[in-house]
Structures are given as C-alpha cells and as structure tokens.
Amino acid sequence: MSTTNLMSQTMLTKARDLQKEIVELRRHLHRYPELSFQENETAKLAAEKLQELGFAVKTGIARTGVLGEIGSGKKIAIRADMDALPVLESNKNKYVSANPGVMHACGHDAHVSCGLAAAKLLSGLDNLPGSVRMIMQPAEEDVDDESKSGALRMVEEGVMDGVSAVIGLHMDASLPAGKVAIMSGPVMAACDIFHITIKGKGGHGAYPEATVDAVVLTAQVINAVQQIVSRRIAATDPAVVTIGAIRSSSTRGNIISETVTLDGTMRSFTEPVRAKLFEEMEKACSIARVLGGDFKIEYETGYPATFNDSAVTQTMREVACELIGEDNVVILPPKTWSEDFSLLAQAAPGAFMFLGGEISGDRRAHHSPDFDIDESGLFIGPAILAETALRLMKK
C-alpha cells in the first residue's frame, strides 16, 4: 500500500473512532432544531466546539453563521448548513424534536456533526500544510426579508475571500449507508419559483359570451406551459416545469372567474436552459392576450445549479475510493433538488458529495415528517472531507 493510501486509511480510522461522538451530536441537534436565521443555540454549540479545537472563531456572520479558521497558507473551506424545516415530526424515537413544528427533516443535523468531526480530524494534525476555514452556515432552506439565503449573505460578508476551494456534503436517504456519490459537473438544479395571474372579465355563468373566462384562458396557458420542456428544450438538457397550485377568483359554479393564479417551480442545470425557461414561460402565457385576456408573472429567483469543479471533484473521488473502495463510490444522475452551496461554488471551485443514509427496507423521504437516516456510515463523511481538504492544501 502506498504512503498516500496509508495516510488516508489512518484518517478513516480516526474518523471511525469519532463515530459515537458524531451520532450523539447529530441526535442532540435533531432534538433541538432551529429554523433559518434562528440557529442561535446550534451556532453557539458549533462556535464552542471549534474554539476548543483551536480554531479562531467569528460569530454573527450572516446573522447566525459561524466562521472558524486554523492554520496558514492555502485556504480550503468546508461548509455545513445548520437550519431545520417547519415540519411537525412524526417519529417516535428518543431524539424526536423537542420543538413542535420544527424538524431536521433534511439531514442538516448530520451535516453539522460531520463538519465538526472533519474540523476535529484536521485540527489534530501536526504541521497542517495550509489553512482550513469552517463555514457553519445558516438558512439554506429559506431566505430572509430581502430574499437572501444564508450562503448569499455569507458570500456578501466575505467568507469566501481568499478561499482556493470549497467542499461539503449532503445526506442522501435514498443511497445506502456506507456509500457516497461524487460526480463532476452539475449535480443539483437551479430552482426558480413563478406566480402567474391570468386576467379575464368575470360575469354570470349563464352569459359566457359577455365575459372573458379566466379559467378557459388558464386551461390554454397550462397546455402551453406543459409543452415548454417537451417541445422547447432539447431532450439532452434536463429541465422541469411544475404548476403546483391553481386558485380561481370564483368559488361558485355559476360565476365566471375574473382572475386565476398559478404557482409553480422551474428546475434546470445550466444557465442557458434556465434563461430559456423564463423566455418560454412568457410566450406560453401570452396566449391569454391572444384570446382577449391578460397576464402577469412574478418570479422568485432561487439558487443557481450546483456545479462541481472537475479538478476538486477528482481529488475528492480519489480520496473516497481509497477510503471505502471504488465499489462504494457511485455516480448518480443530477438531482433536481436545489442547494445554496451553489453560491459558494461560484465564488471558488467546489465539490459537493452525497453521503448515504438510507434506512434499509424503510427509505425515508427528505422534508417528510418521518425523515430519518441510517447513522452507521456517518464517520465516512468527515473522513473524506478532511482528507480531501488536506490534499487540496498540498496541490
């Protein structure tokens, strides 16, 4: 076995020794979840642990974020998001949320635990060949009153200044524990929200000829919207357009609607396709004007696609293969989830991996009230993060 492989296996052994600590911290955080930009106790805990490890710590970054730094030289950032979701947990385990209506339903409790374990592994090394910047990020799941997420706030406040590369992970409850997925290129989608108002002229249901029926206009618009992906986007370019809600100004069968509102989402993996979706949405809605009505579209521009840099990803993949074997390092199709790690990866080359946590025979869905994970492979995450950071410092 080469010297590099021996060193990486040592990192895995050290991480395995932290497994009990990682699980205990994950369960503590699961029991005490906090919503976006309210992660006060989580941030306090993270700051205290980083200080104990010798990191220089700054708090109050992007409101409730924490920044920890150790070492000098080439700077590699490791990011972990801290926020929970407004979900009422239905699990019956001992670490069920003690905050009714708030739940770690996407694995961010594990992200924090793995991030702090990676920090511990790196802080214990002699002669660190560079510097590590721990980004304990608030508000990945939501935005503030200025429509800014935690990652955007942190970038604006300079947390990526001087960073050569940024790495992170996300739990994947559909991937068996003990496996990781590491791919280059786009790995998670851009997400944009739209609100469409179709305007007609209301009236009595017995005299439709005197009206411009917004419901009929909407039916035509929906047909056109559903053809955007199938007829306007190349089959080789993945994209999703979903209308999830429809509301009419009329609630009676004999009243013709004045207006109908539609709410939906668009997902894409490249900026040209993303721009095309916006363009085609306008064209689809213009049918309402051709038929005598009108429309208005309001957008909530979300996170861009998460793009893994090829060189950083190659290093992470090499590390993972050495640590857990090539058979346990898989390639998955890009996920139509959306993540604001993408904003950090726009500021510096990045790599974002998926850490397996599927409960065998009882797979849980992310963002669901019964979400949970198989914790047996959690130590793999910090081992890969720490060893990847170490090698990136040396390159």
Point out the catalytic residue in the list 258, 280, 375, 387.
Answer: 375
What is the DSSP code (8-state) at residue 364? P
What distance in Å separates the CA atoms of residue 143 and residue 147, rounded to the nearest whole number?
5
Q: Which two tokens stand for residue 267?
A: 């997902």
Full strand arrangement of the beta sheet holding 190-199: 239-248, 259-268, 190-199, 294-301
Give 91-141 as a DSSP string: --STT--SSTT-B--SSHHHHHHHHHHHHHHHHTSSS-SSEEEEEEE--SS
Closest CA to 350 of 339, 360, 358: 339
DSSP assignment letter at 287 = H
215, two tokens: 């419901």
Our answer to whether residue 303 is catalytic in this structure is yes
Q: Which residues 6+ apart lie within 8 Å of 23 measured at CB?
A: 113, 375, 378
> Alpha-carbon dihedral of residues 367, 324, 311, 65, nearest 10 degrees?
40
- Sign of the torsion formed by the C-alpha atoms of 386, 114, 373 and 168: negative
Concerning whether 258 is annotated as a catalytic residue, the answer is no
Cβ-based neighbours of 9, under 8 Å, separated by 6 or more: 1, 322, 323
In Å, how far are 76, 81, 167, 390 from 170, measured between CA atoms? Answer: 18, 9, 11, 20
Cα 299 off chain centre by: 20
Calculate the alpha carbon distances from 303 to 271, 272, 314 in Å. Answer: 11, 15, 24
Beta pairing class for 350-358 and 163-176: parallel
Tokens for 374, please give them: 């198989």
The catalytic position among 141, 303, 339, 358 is 303
Catalytic residues: 303, 375
